[in-house]
Amino acid sequence: MPKQHLKLTDTEQQYLTELLSKGQVNARVIRRATALLQLHQGATLQSVADTLKVQHWTVSVWRNKYLAEGLEFLRDQPRTGRPIEIDGKQRAQITALACSEAPPGRAKWSLRLLADKIVELEFCESISPVQVGKILKKTDSSRT
């Protein structure tokens, strides 16, 4: 009899099977769920790893996380990273400013003028002309 790396309950098996049949979940979740089901069926860590094209120690980590946390480990934890400095509201204000009338004596807004005005109007604490250009580029604005 093959070694069983973990034992899933009937409800857990049904949940994982339904999750995989939906097809609307993250690829990472699909891999983890597939690994759990294969381990439950008696597959070795290496054979599961070969099937999913990951390292065997990755499958081992997934198994251990399942044993510690249950099915909650399937979902990704919030990732650390650089916090958003300029949110959607600020981007909208910047775009609206760029689409507004240019200051007196100017034919159109320059990125440097926009950056200075954005800080002056306190849309954000600081912003570079390059960053303003990137924001406007994403909005297809032709004002700059």
pLDDT digits over 121-136, tens only?
999 899 999 999 999 9
pLDDT exceeds cutoff 70 at 73: yes
CB contact at 8 A, 127 and 118: yes
Q: Say what percent of the chain tops pLDDT 70.
A: 92
Residue 127: predicted pLDDT: 93
> Of 88 and 141, which is predicted with more confidence?
88
Residue 1: predicted pLDDT: 44
The region that residue 9 occupies, defined by phi over 0 for left and psi between -120 and 50 for alpha, beta otherwise, is beta
- Name the residue with tokens 């070694």: 3
CB contact at 8 A, 46 and 12: no
Mean pLDDT (whole number) for 74-83: 82
- Name the residue with tokens 């300029």: 86
Residue-averaged pLDDT of the chain: 88
Q: Which residues contact 22 (CB under 8 A, 6 or more apart)?
A: none
- Name the residue with tokens 């909208």: 92
Mean pLDDT (whole number) for 42-69: 93
Would you list the DSSP string of 5-55?
S----HHHHHHHHHHHHH--S-HHHHHHHHHHHHHHTT--HHHHHHHHTS-
Mean pLDDT (whole number) for 72-86: 83
